[in-house]
Structure 1
Amino acid sequence: MKNTILPNALYSFIVIILVYSFASQLSAQKMNLKPVGRSVGQKKHPFTERLIQAQDDVATRKSGGNYRKLLVILVDFQEDDDPGSTGNGKFVLEADPSYLYSVAAPPHDREYFEANLEAMRYYYLAASAGAYDLEYDVWPKDKTAYTLSHTMAYYNPPDVGSDEFVAKMEEYFKEAFETADIEDPEIDFASYAHYMIIHAGSDWQHDIAGDSPQDIPSFFIRVAEGKQVNVDDGNHQIYHACNVPATISQDFRSEESGGQTIHSGYGALNAVLFHEFGHSLGLVDLYNVRNFSPMVGSFDIMDSGGAGILVDMLENGDLVYLEGAMPALPGAFSRFLLFEEDFKARGLFKEVTDLKPYSRIDLAASSMKQSGSNKPSIIRFQINPDEYYLIENRNLDPDNDGGTAVFGTLEHPDDPSKKRVILYPTAYEDDSNMPTYEYDYLLPSFMDAQGNVKGGGILAWRGNEKVLY
């Protein structure tokens, strides 16, 4: 267990921050946002890429009739007081008065995780232009979690090589689903295409102080033949799963700047949840998996698109930085990878040869929610049999209302006017708070003299099938 206050020197900024106006703590469910220019990064684990031990069969999952269905199991550990990991191995089930902010605040129970999964449903509805509507179930139903046989630290021992790390994560994966199968045999594992473990505690990637190295990392695992989990009386095998923590908040830090106190270390689950589930859908990491450097940066959730920061003001005037609440949409390559056939059928994807030469082309922003006749949002220019360009339009404010707002849910136990989960972006002036697709609001931009957000334009992706796979 740890509760760390970081010195100033340990905090570095590397992506984008939002600040909101005229609201506080997601009060009254809706918060208006404005961008400013800096953000925070996170670590990349050196061995998690090795957890992909077999070729994925996304096509089979898509054709199985249950591609929309996700099973989530909550797991905790033997209780401990180990300084090498965050927390005590158990979910935080009571409000924590020391947690300064409403978003992502405890209690972290099944209702809380269901609200986060609902946020993920809205995100992938936007990414798919309404085509992919996630269905999810969270187990167990009659208790807090499935308790594993060891402490968290056992599954991620310090200073081990990649082979032992992989073996421990495979053991953790296997025990989690075997325990769920034994304790709740009524779960129909075969009815799901996707699986996720949410564990008590935080994750390795957000231990920026480096003082809880035995936190389990967030990852996607796909095991080889012989390592699968046999469930449903041996009639079904689980080969893959996402793994995410109950919270990414840790290493809380306070500093004075310009006479104002700034609190950091707080984070929403949205980005890590959406990123890891993207792998289960068939997306791939777009950062450099050899040296962990950004490659497409903030323009895709599968690189740094989830690392944006919100800035909010507490009632006492202090500021709080919140990571991960507003991840960017998948870029054209990722959306093409997942939704090519659907986008073609609906007119959202066009080959350049489909277009009339020298004619005007209206390319819809991926963040624009279209109605009626669809305009294309991706155009492919085939260069040769292996190479092509994907052209898309990324726009921070496609409805031209000067910005965006976010809509929240799940009341804070100490103040029902404050909400704990950000569900989706919504328009400034929409009293009905309908969801929009404006997840790209954190992309690079500037503000005009009236405070309206300006930014966006044409983004070209070059693909080479010989290199990609």
Structure 2
Amino acid sequence: MVALIGAICTADAADAATTWRILVLRVDFPLEEPDEPTTTGIGRFDLRSFDEALPDYYYPFDTPPHDRTFFENHLRALARYYRTVSEGEVEIEFELFPRGQEEAYSLSQRMLIYGNGRSEEEIGRKWTELFGDAVRLADADPEGPRFADFNSFLVLHAGVGHETGELNDIRSVFLAERDFEAYAEQPVLADDGQFEIREGWILPESPSLRGQAGLNGLLAKFFGHQLGLPGLSNFADGLPAVGGWSLMDVGTNSLGFVMQDSLLPVVGFAVPHPIAWSKARLGWIEPLVVQRDTVVTLLATDRGGELPKAVRIPLDADEYLLLENRQQRGQRGFPEGGEHPFLDPDQVVWIDGEEVEFSNGDGTGSWLGLAEYDAFIPGSGLLVWHVDEGVIQERFAAGAINNDPVHPGIALIEADGRRDIGQPVFERLDEIEGSPQDPFFVGGQTRLGGDTQPDTRTYRGWESGVEIEVLSEPGDEMRVEIRFPRSARGWPQRLEGGRRLQAVDVDGDGTDELIAEGREGVRIARMGAGFEEWMIAGVRFLAAGDVDGEEMIFALRGLEVGAWGWGEAEPRWAMKLDEEPTGTLFSGNLQIFRERPVLVLVGEETTVLDGRDGSLLSRLAVSGSQPLAVDVDGDGEGELVVAGERGLWQLEEGEIKTLWEGEGQLLSPAAGDVDWDGRDEIICADVGGRVWLIGEGERGFEVSLGDSLRAGPVIGDLDGIGDLDGKAYLEIVIAGRERVHALQANGLQISGFPVRLPDFADLEELGRSPVLLDLDWDGKQEVFQATSRGMFGFDGDGRMLAGFPLPTAGGMVALIGADLDGDDRVELAGLGGDWLYVWEPQSFTPEYAGQRIGWGQEGYSAAGVRTHQGMGEALEPYLEVNILPDDRVYCYPNPVVGEEEVHLRFFLGGPARVRLEVFDAVGGRVEEQEIQGELAAPAENEISWSVAGYASGLYICRLEARGENGRRETAFVKMAVSR
């Protein structure tokens, strides 16, 4: 239910029908004899004549008699208002019952009984009781309505609402279907029990019995709930949230003045337009979505024309900026001959009485309509709303989308940076309900960006990269420049249903293009030109690779696989398959096919086609999920390995060789010469978080990450360290559920990993493999992870990179690092929210000028080999002076609690034997270990042991490393044990 005192829930979105037929039931109560002091009025409508009542009214507005004509006038005013603000999208018809001029249905219970609820449940029960009693009286009336002819049901009761009246006056409310289900003792039935009423609203005859406040505002606001609009106030604190700019906050009651014989203050008579968010939600306007640099002219929301009336700038999957042009149509300052004893001139906004159509025609009675409904909004200029649809969705049912002032669903970015709308302490109304300094305009604040105050960061504090500059003074048309300096010029580009992204030099010009698969098929995009007109319609991308010096694209249409050359309308060849493949590989270096270019497709069986003509080379009874081209034996030629759900099989001529049998559901593996022994190792991982390194003839390691996985591993060089001969050891990176893991060749997590993505980021599970690039030219590759809110970037120590994350308009489903413009620098590209993004990292910081790519895209390359091939060159030899640098030795956890195992992590600068001794506080040796076997160097290593039997206290760990030349180095670490 929605009430002025607070909001428990709101109406569901309105049906597509634009015509509303409102049934209005007038009800009164038993005459109060004597008058009940805790309610307003005496239980009956005020039916005095105008002349009789006028002396009791401060202002001659909404004056009695409050009879049928009075309410018909207000409903005509309501219809006129919504016809105007919706530009004809909403039409309102109505009928009032009973039909007599001064008649009302008389309820049997006193007003006090319906209005004296205190708890939420009691208030709700009394609301539904009053509504049901009114319906039953009307249904019993022989001359009453046929309820099925209407789709909105309004009960107007005698008296004033609780919001402006006494303690036990009835609260105004919109009751949604869920409210009747929660609070009504029985369904509200009409038409002889054949029609059930599931929504309704309850309002008083007037907000005031002295003419200070008008019924127009209440009717407009609560009919907004009928249409599906939520209240936009901070109901938890009883404060505004978007202020006088909004129909659904305090705009319906904004203070204004009408000039007649004198300056008369009015509240609730001049109702403002709904804000752009409300109009867009109801389908009255379609905001222009802006994602790349442009200049837009925005038309004022209350003017007709072809120009856009709102601009939407996505920040991430939930958040966006919404721009609208609002113009205060009233005049500011004292009119000639007008003054106010308590207000400064700049606080007075007024209209001439001639601008209002009055029911009595002489400047008195009900307000039937205005020339300008935005007469009393707080100011003029460009409004920038910060909207979080995630918050709105979460809190919509409770009617609380703006109850959190720190993170509301809709907030105005106030140009003056004060953010004083809704503050509990104020001296003037324009400090709490909005002020002329809130909009952006030439002559006031004009810029909004990452370096301004306020700024364009997301609620999570992330730099959005959006810059806005207003180029116009306030007016019906305002020009605004919108810039995205971090995006490449002309990007992002729209791609409906984007799901796959690869990079390869398709046309042979020496620069990679983007291959993007969307709902319509496969398209090619160039960094400087956007999408090419040529596309392969209705296909799924499989792989791309060099066939006799020409790059070919292999794609699947239905169950037919084909090969397309650049710009070709039809495939060079096509081959019908028996099933849709689950994994694909293109390679020209597979030993068993004598270096033919082949396309390998795996599913229930493994099929190998000649890439030149599509002829069948082999069909093997090996089922799998992903093929790999792996140099298992170090002879320089690739072996064909198929990864299945529970193992690895190598395909040789006339033989299927089992390389390894797994135990869980495996994800797509990766391969590469991780330990620089001249042979590729294969890294497998299962959904349960176990990881295996498998070399020829034996398993290298098996570790458990303690995390569930949704995507396979990738391989790169995170530490940039070569050994004494300059050989580069590689690291293994895997995205877990909420963390990114990085392992050395010995299975140990790299220091700083796993990296847990921030809880406040509110991310879905990580479902994509990372990309590894040396973006900052420091010789170490960084980790880039696609998430449901955009791209995160970490360095090799697990620290967030400057300029990251990069938010996107929807969840990122693909990510690439490649040189897309031939400048020998890496660009970033990604698919997210039906958009293809391209970023130039140097726009974040000049340091991002790197070009070294470790694992730059899904499958390592567009060919899908999933084997790391980019580290053939040696690195600078590791020349660390110390074999055992003491600043890289530590133990964890520290202190060790209970019977926990303790781990001593240390870095070895070269090959060495290691000895560990642990001493207690009095020098007694309690532990001694000499590490047998080869330790990784230069790399981190770890020793683990149990502290069971250790007493609480302080211990000294002595670690000694003896190098191959006999040199010894020692490091000491303190360790605490707590029982």
TM-score normalized by structure 1? 0.71
Q: 1:397 to 1:343 in 2, by over 3 A?
A: same
Contact 1:66 / 1:193 at 8 angstroms: preserved in 2? no
Does the CA contact (< 8 Å) of 1:367 and 1:396 recur in 2? no
1:466 is aligned to 2:390? yes
- What is aligned with 2:171? 217
Whole-Å separation in 2 of the counterparts to 1:115 and 1:106: 12
**Residue 127 of structure 2 is aligned to residue 147 of structure 1:** no
Query: Cα RMSD between the aligned structures?
Result: 2.7
**Alpha-carbon displacement from aligned partner over 1:405-436 (angstroms, at most 9, x marks no partner):** 4322322xxxx63431112222xxxxxxxxxx
1:33-69 alpha-carbon deviations (Å, 9 max, x no partner): xxxxxxxxxx952xx524x4xx74434xx14x47422
Paired residue for 1:188, among 132, 143, 146?
146
Q: 2:13 aligns with which of 58, 61, 69?
A: 58
Contact kept in structure 2, 1:367 and 1:398, CA below 8 Å: no
Q: Deviations over 1:184-224 (max 9, x none)?
A: 565221222211111111111112xxxx2111111111234
Displacement of 1:117 after TM fit? 1.1
1:228 to 164, 187, 193: 187
| 2:333 pairs with 1:333 | no
Kept in 2, the 8 Å contact 1:120–1:270? The answer is: yes
Larger relative helix fraction: 1
Q: Secondary structure at the match of 1:237?
A: strand
Gaps of 5+ in 1: 1-42, 253-264, 427-437, 445-454
1:295 is displaced (CA, Å) by 0.6
Letter in 2 for 1:365: A
2:101 counterpart of 1:177: no
> How high is the sequence identity, in percent, across the aligned residues?
30
1:248 to 1:399, Cα distance in 2 relative to 1, 3 A: closer
Distance 1:138 1:299 in 2: 32
Alpha-carbon distance between aligned partners in 2 of 1:168 and 1:102, rounded to the nearest angstrom: 34
Whether 1:425 and 2:370 are equivalent positions in the alignment is yes
Change (3 A) 1:241 1:184: farther
* SS, match of residue 381 in structure 2: strand
- Over 3 Å counting, the alpha-carbon distance change for 1:57 and 1:235 in structure 2 is farther
Which residue identity does 2:206 align to in structure 1?
Answer: T
Structure 1 pair 396–313 and aligned structure 2 pair: CA distance change class (3 A): closer
Work out which of the residue numbers 18, 36, 42 in structure 2 matches 1:88. 42
Q: Deviations over 1:125-168 (max 9, x none)?
A: 2221232122222221135111111111111126x322222211
**Whole-Å Cα distance in 2 between the matches of residues 68 and 362 of structure 1?**
34
Matched, 1:68 2:28: no
Task: Within 5 Å, give how 1:300-311 maps onto structure 2.
Answer: 300-311=246-257
Task: Tell me, in whole angstroms, the C-alpha distance in 2 between the residues paired with 1:306 and 1:420.
Answer: 19
Q: What is the TM-score normalised by the length of structure 2?
A: 0.35
Q: Is 1:383 aligned to residue 335 of structure 2?
A: no
Q: Contact 2:97–2:144 (CA<8 Å) still a contact in 1?
A: no
SS in 2 for 1:267: coil
Counterpart residue identity of residue 307, structure 1: N
Shift of 1:112: 0.7
Partner of 2:94: 136
How far is 1:360 from its partner?
3.5
Distance 1:293 1:234, change over 3 A: same
Residue of 157, 179, 192 corresponding to 1:199: 157
1:362 and 2:307 matched = no
Q: Distance in 1 between matches of 2:95 and 2:152?
A: 11
Superposed displacement of residue 442, structure 1: 1.0
Q: CA deviation digits over 1:316-337, x for unaligned, max 9?
A: x7x6533211122111111111
Pairing 1:266–2:212 present: yes
**Amino acid in the other structure paired with 1:442:** F
Identify if the C-alpha distance between structure 1 residues 102 and 56 changes in structure 2 by more than 3 Å, giving closer, same or farther. Answer: closer
Shift of 1:313: 7.1
Q: Which amino acid aligns with 1:367?
A: D
Name 1:103's counterpart in structure 2: 61
Per-residue CA distance 1:93-137 (angstroms, 9 max, x = gap):
122142242211110011111111111112212221232122222
**Structure 1: distance between partners of 2:231 and 2:44:** 30
Task: Assess if the C-alpha contact under 8 Å between 1:326 and 1:439 holds in 2.
Answer: yes
Give 2:356's aligned amino acid: F
CA contact 1:140–1:184 (8 Å) conserved in 2: no
Q: State the match for 1:7 in structure 2.
A: none
Give yes or no for the alignment of 1:407 onto 2:407. Answer: no
CA distance change for structure 1 residues 314 and 89 in 2, over 3 Å: closer, same or farther? farther
Summarize the Cα distance change of 1:186–1:397 in structure 2 as closer, same or farther, 3 Å threshold: closer
**In structure 1, how many angstroms separate the alpha carbons of the residues matched to 2:260 and 2:299?**
38
Measured after TM superposition, the shift of residue 403 of structure 1 is 7.5
SS at match of 2:391: helix
Structure 2 CA distance for aligned equivalents of residues 196 and 166 of structure 1: 16
Q: Which amino acid aligns with 2:161?
A: D
Question: Are 1:122 and 2:80 counterparts?
Answer: yes
Q: Supply the distance in 1 between the matched residues of 2:13 and 2:192 (Cα, whole angstroms).
A: 25
Structure 2 counterpart SS, 1:206: coil
The one of 79, 82, 97 equivalent to 2:31 is 79
Distance 1:218 1:56, change over 3 A: closer
Structure of greater relative contact order (alpha carbons < 8 Å, 6+ residues apart): 1
Quote the Cα distance in structure 1 between the aligned partners of 2:18 and 2:197.
14
- Residue 442 of structure 1 is matched in structure 2 by 376
Check conservation: 1:391, 1:460, Cα contact below 8 A: yes
Whole-angstrom CA distance in 2 between matches of 1:398 and 1:94: 33
- Amino acid aligned to 1:407: V
Which structure has greater strand proportion?
2
Q: For each residue in 1:259-280, what CA deviation from the matched residue of structure 2 results, as whole angstroms up to 9, or x when unmatched?
A: xxxxxx7211111111111111
SS of the residue 2:250 aligns to:
coil
Whichever of the two has the greater Rg, that structure is 2
For 1:71, give the aligned amino acid. L
Shift of 1:171: 0.7
SS at match of 1:196: strand
Partner of 1:447: none
CA contact (8 A) 2:330 2:351 kept: no
Report the residue type matching 1:101 in the other structure.
Y
In the alignment, is the contact (CA less than 8 A) between 2:4 and 2:171 conserved in 1? no
Match of 1:238 in 2: 197
Alignment-mate amino acid for residue 215 of structure 1? D
